[in-house]
Amino acid sequence: MVVIAHLARNTGVFARFDLGNLGVRVFFVLSGFLITTLLAREHAATGRISLSAFYLRRTLRIFPPFYALVLAVAAARAAGVVALPWSDVAHAATYTMNYNTADRGWILGHTWSLAVEEQFYLLWPAALALAGFRRGLAVAALAMLAAPLVRVTTYLAFPAAHAGIGETFPTVVDALAAGCALALARDALWRWPLYRRFLGSPAFIAVPLVALVAHAGGKHPLFSFFVGTSLVNSAVALVVDRVVRFPDGPIGRFLDRRPVALVGVASYSIYLWQQPFLDARSNAWWTAFPQNLVLAGLCAAASYHLIERPLLRLRLSLDLRRAPQAARPARQAA
């Protein structure tokens, strides 16, 4: 969705729809769900959460492809090939781009969402390790309730901070929290007969429709900040649960198609490298359609095959080495 939204700036296709914002929301909810699910599985298997192992896996997954992009952009900036503030490079490199909302350029601007993700990684696993999963659900619910109040208060009382609404961590944390809450509460929800019937019924189509209508209400700030965004987050979480519960449904079958699966596998590198080439404000030849798509695809493919895949093999090797050690606490607990 984000790539389509950026492409729309070049071609005019789907330009009237804010697919980029919706796509980021979906990404945050899904990320909260997946990370929490993985942490819960680790805790169930070993009786603990290894923060060192988590941060090592995330570092190997996120840092090398990301800093390859940052270094490439910095080199292009130094050579005068592209124009962007050096402050963008600094904010990107320190994962603080979501607080650089006043005068940032386009090429690294998309890294604000990765900054939010890294801030989430820094806080949430440690919170679960310290507070436990039951209190973690309460924390997630509190974040879902507090973020709309933060957005509305910022909008009404702090005009100078308007640009950061939906990007600074306190104003976007509820999307991540919705995914976290789903991961922690879905077993309890499934024991509720009414929820089970609704999740599998044709009436469920109302959920994505509510999300689309609420998202369209983004033109009305107070509605969007207080109600609309929360509805979108909750609807996306429900859709995620339905897809996981019923993988043979239409969405599950679509996601299992080979072209879609291939895009999903390389989605991180695609996310990183699409931005420099999908710049509608640039007159450079590499940002013109259709060669911009070709170049973005080539760079993403190089990033995936030369950086991501070798590191994936390394991560799997490290996980296999840890497996016998991780099994010991589980056997002792049994």
Give CA angle at 99 (98, 105), nearest 5°.
70
Do residues 182 and 241 touch, judged by C-beta distance below 8 A?
yes
Q: Distance between CA 134 and CA 184 in Å, rounded?
A: 8
pTM over 0.85: yes
Dihedral of the alpha carbons of 20, 215, 229, 186, in degrees to the nearest 10: -90
Rounded to a whole number, what is the distance in angstroms from the first to the last CA of the chain?
46
Closest to 114 measured CA to CA, from 66, 74, 57:
66
Residue 219: the pLDDT is 77
Do residues 170 and 147 touch, judged by C-beta distance below 8 A?
yes
> Which pLDDT tens digit goes with each residue over 27-41?
999 999 999 999 999
Q: State whether residue 150 is helix, strand or coil.
A: helix
What are the boundaries of each domain within the chain? Answer: 24-48+84-248
Q: How far is CA 144 from CA 82, 171, 229, in A?
A: 39, 10, 10
- 233, two tokens: 């987050």
Residue 323: the pLDDT is 56
Residue 201: the pLDDT is 94
Give CA angle at 158 (155, 162), nearest 5°.
55
The stretches in the chain having pLDDT less than 70 are: 1-18, 320-334
Q: Distance between CA 52 and CA 251 in Å, rounded?
A: 35
Dihedral of the alpha carbons of 305, 309, 311, 315, in degrees to the nearest 10: 180
> Which pLDDT tens digit goes with each residue over 268-323?
999 999 999 999 888 999 999 999 999 999 999 999 999 999 999 988 887 766 65
Q: Which letter, b or e, does each residue of 276-291 get, where b requires 16 or more Cβ atoms within 10 Å of its Cβ?
A: bbbbbebeeeebeeee
> How crowded is the C-beta side of 82, counted as CA atoms within 13 Å?
26
Q: Which letter, b or e, does each residue of 222-243 get, where b requires 16 or more Cβ atoms within 10 Å of its Cβ?
A: eebbeebbbbbbbbbbbbbbbb
